[in-house]
């Protein structure tokens, strides 16, 4: 930020403002990780895994707010270009790129499957690309004296930030609305259960995530024939193993029945 003010670069100021938001976002992400690891309680029987999702949404909103500020300032600079010290901006932009790439590489090793850490990673990647834009703008201004490259680079940063924010908020909203997890097909899961020998029908099938990475399922499964409670439980355990190995669903609640429920209008492989 000091460099942006000293050298008259909006792109550096935009990148700096985004980094300030990143500090807040990464702090929130870390706090969310600590809270999500707390065990379930009598009041919160599902635990606190969705804390990560709430923080991811908040980070998305921070990204959008920062992007809008950048756009507003860039439009003003396009109308009235200002001169900047391209050499100084180039040096700071290069240092920023190194810091962002190293930080993003560190977070990427732990971000797989975590919406919260993915949000933190998106912040860092957007900053890295923003640093590239700063470097390009400074180099172009230094070589050709085109002062409008700085606000153009700022708008590029804003677009990157908005795209990252949209994906983050979309994915977090899907979790909160208990949509089918990405990578899972409810029809494929139902068909796999129906194809098992001894299964007559599957209905009231629900797929959701308890957090950003833990898929869950509940379903009613109609079994053929008259079975003892012990045999029915063995069948249900087999279905749970199928769900875990084929679809990665570790948390499954299956209610076994000897006939379809009265409100089930299509008892055979109900859709």
pLDDT digits (tens, 9 = 90+) for 140-159: 888 887 778 878 888 887 88
Confidence of residue 193 (pLDDT cuts 50, 70, 90): very high
Give the mean model confidence (pLDDT) for residues 33-39. 79
32, HSE (Cβ side, Cα atoms, 13 Å): 26
How far is residue 177's CA from residue 109's CA, in Å, rounded to a whole number? 28
Is 269 among the domain residues?
A: no
Confidence of residue 252 (pLDDT cuts 50, 70, 90): very high
User: In which domain, by residue range, is 7 found?
Assistant: 2-176
How far is residue 206's CA from residue 216's CA, in Å, rounded to a whole number? 8
DSSP bridge partners of 257: 222
- The answer to whether residues 39 and 101 belong to one domain is yes
pLDDT confidence of residue 190: 94
The structure's pTM equals 0.66
**Which residues, at least 6 apart from 25, have a Cβ–Cβ distance to it below 8 Å?**
59, 62, 119, 120, 123
**Host H or E run for residue 256:** strand 251-257
- The answer to whether residues 154 and 221 belong to one domain is no
Domain count, the chain: 2
Compute CA distances 211 → 97, 117, 214, 269, whole Å.
32, 12, 6, 29
Strand order in the sheet with 215-223: 199-209, 215-223, 251-257
Is 267 among the domain residues?
A: no
Burial class (CB in 10 A: 0-12, 13-18, 19+), 188: exposed
- The answer to whether residues 125 and 217 belong to one domain is no
């Amino acid at each position: 930020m000091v460099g942006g003010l000293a050298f008259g670069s909006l792109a550096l100021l935009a990148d700096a403002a985004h980094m300030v938001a990143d500090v807040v976002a990464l702090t929130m992400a870390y706090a969310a990780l600590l809270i999500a690891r707390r065990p379930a309680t009598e009041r919160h029987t599902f635990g606190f895994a969705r804390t990560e999702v709430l923080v991811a949404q908040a980070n998305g909103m921070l990204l959008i707010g920062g992007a809008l500020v950048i756009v507003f300032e860039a439009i003003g600079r396009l109308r009235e270009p200002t001169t900047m010290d391209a050499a100084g901006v180039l040096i700071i932009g290069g240092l920023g790129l190194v810091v962002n790439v190293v930080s993003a590489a560190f977070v990427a090793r732990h971000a797989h499957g975590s919406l919260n850490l993915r949000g933190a990673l998106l912040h860092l990647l957007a900053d890295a690309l923003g640093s590239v834009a700063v470097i390009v703008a400074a180099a172009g201004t230094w070589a050709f004296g085109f002062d409008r490259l700085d606000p153009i680079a700022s708008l590029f940063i804003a677009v990157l930030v908005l795209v990252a924010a949209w994906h983050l908020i979309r994915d977090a909203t899907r979790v909160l609305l208990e949509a089918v997890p990405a990578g899972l097909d409810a029809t494929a899961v139902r068909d796999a259960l129906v194809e098992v020998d001894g299964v007559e029908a599957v209905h009231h099938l629900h797929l959701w995530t308890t957090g950003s990475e833990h898929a869950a399922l509940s379903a009613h499964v109609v079994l053929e024939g008259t079975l003892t409670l012990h045999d029915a439980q063995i069948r249900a355990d087999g279905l749970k193993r199928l769900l875990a190995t084929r679809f990665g669903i570790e948390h499954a609640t299956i209610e076994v029945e000897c006939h379809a429920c009265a409100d089930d209008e299509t008892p055979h492989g109900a859709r």
